[in-house]
Amino acid sequence: MNQNSLVSIDDISRDDILDLIERARYFEEHPNHKILDGKVVATLFFEPSTRTRLSFETAVNRLGGRVIGFSDASTTSSSKGETLKDTIKMVSNYVDLIVMRHYLEGAARYATEVTDVPVINAGDGANQHPSQTMLDLYSISKTQGTLENLTITMVGDLKYGRTVHSLLMALRYFNPTFRFVACEELRMPKEYRDFCDANGIRYTEHTDFSPVVINTSDIIYMTRVQRERFADIMEYERVKDLYTLRADMLADAKPSMRVLHPLPRVNEIAQDVDNDPRAYYFDQARNGLYARQAIICRALGIDIYSYDKGE
C-alpha cells in the first residue's frame, strides 16, 4: 500500500488534519497554483457523483495536472466482467494517483492492496468519505473559528450516510458533543456509538428534531436518506420524509450556527432555508475544491510551500 493513500479518515492524525486545513486555506488564496505539471490523475467513479468528481477534477485542472477516468462504469470493461483488481492494476500503469468511488464498502482499501499508486477514497458504500470530511472540517473551522468543543447535530440517515461516519471519527480529536437525530431504522450504527464510547465522546440520540436541539447546536449537519442503500424500497418510502429543516425552525437558533449538508439534497432542507444567512451548504461545496487540492498534493507527496507562491 502506498502510504500517501487516503482510504479512511482514521488513517491520518490530528496533525495531518490540521495541516490539510492549513493547506486548504492556502489554496483558497491560490487556487491556480500550477504545481501538478506532468501529473496524471484518474477519477474512477463506479457510483454516481456530481460535486465530488467535478471538484476533484477541477482541483487537478486548476493545479495544472491532467485527468483521465470515467463517471459511469457501465461504459467500461467492468460491464464485461473485468474485476476491480484488474481495472486498478491496469489504470495504475497510466497515472500518478487514483481517486475512486465504489458502491462496495472496503473497495478503496482493497485497491490500495493491488497497486503502488496512491489511492484516494471518494466514498465506499456506506463506509467512509474522507475527502468530504476534510471539506466539512474546513467549513466548520472557517465558520466557527475553531474545531474544538462544538455541539454538532447530525440529522437524517445516520445508518447509511458515509459522510457522517467519517466526520464523527475525525472530530474525536476536538472534544465534540454530538446529537444524533434519526428514526430507529436509520440511527447511528453501534460501531460508531461504540467508537464514541471508546474515545470519551459525548453524544445523545433523538428521534425528535426539537427546538432545544436546534437552538443549542453550533453545526446542524443534514443528510439525504440514501435510497440506493435500501434493500427494501418500502422501508425507504416509510422513512424518507421524516426530517425536514424549514426556515421557521431556525428562528431561535444561534446566529453563529451553520447548516451543512454534503449535498445532493432531496427534501431534507426546504428551499426557504437557502435565504437564511446560516445556510452554508453551497459555500461548503466550494470549499471542497480547496480541501481536495490539499489532499491531492499530499497524496502525490508535493510540498506546496517549496514552490513559488505565485498564481
Closer residue to ligand NCD, CB minimum distance, 157 or 218 = 157
85 is catalytic: no
In the numeric block, which cell numbers belong to residue 233? 424500497
Closer residue to ligand NCD, CB minimum distance, 162 or 179 = 162
Residue 163 interacts with ligand NCD (CB under 6 A)? yes
**For the purposes of burial, counting CB atoms within 10 Å of the CB of 41, is it exposed (0-12), middle (13-18) or buried (19 or more)?**
buried
Q: Shortest approach of ligand NCD to residue 29 CB, angstroms?
A: 24
Q: Shortest approach of ligand NCD to residue 37 CB, angstroms?
A: 28
Residue 69 interacts with ligand NCD (CB under 6 A)? no
153 is catalytic: no
d(C-alpha 279, C-alpha 289), whole Å: 19
Total binding residues toward ligand NCD, as defined by CB under 6 A: 11
Q: Shortest approach of ligand NCD to residue 22 CB, angstroms?
A: 23
Residue 129 interacts with ligand NCD (CB under 6 A)? yes
d(C-alpha 294, C-alpha 17), whole Å: 11
258 is catalytic: no
d(C-alpha 223, C-alpha 22), whole Å: 26
Q: Shortest approach of ligand NCD to residue 164 CB, angstroms?
A: 9
- Contact between 98 and 120 (Cβ < 8 Å): yes
d(C-alpha 298, C-alpha 175), whole Å: 26
In the numeric block, which cell numbers belong to residue 147? 474545531
d(C-alpha 137, C-alpha 284), whole Å: 10
Select from 33, 224, 240, 298 the one that contacts ligand NCD (CB under 6 A): 224
Helix, strand, coil share of the chain (percent; to 5):
45, 15, 40
The catalytically annotated residue of 23, 39, 43, 52 is 52
Instruction: Sheet with 219-222: list strands edge to edge.
Output: 202-206, 177-181, 151-155, 219-222, 258-260
Select from 69, 118, 123, 125 the one that contacts ligand NCD (CB under 6 A): 123
User: Site map for ligand NCD, 259-278, x if CB under 6 A?
Assistant: ---xx---------------
80 is catalytic: yes
227 is catalytic: no
Select from 30, 51, 187, 292 the one that contacts ligand NCD (CB under 6 A): 51
- Contact between 283 and 240 (Cβ < 8 Å): no
Residues annotated as catalytic (active site), given as ranges: 51-52, 80, 101, 129
Binding site for ligand NCD (CB under 6 A): 51-52, 123, 129, 132, 162-163, 224, 226, 262-263
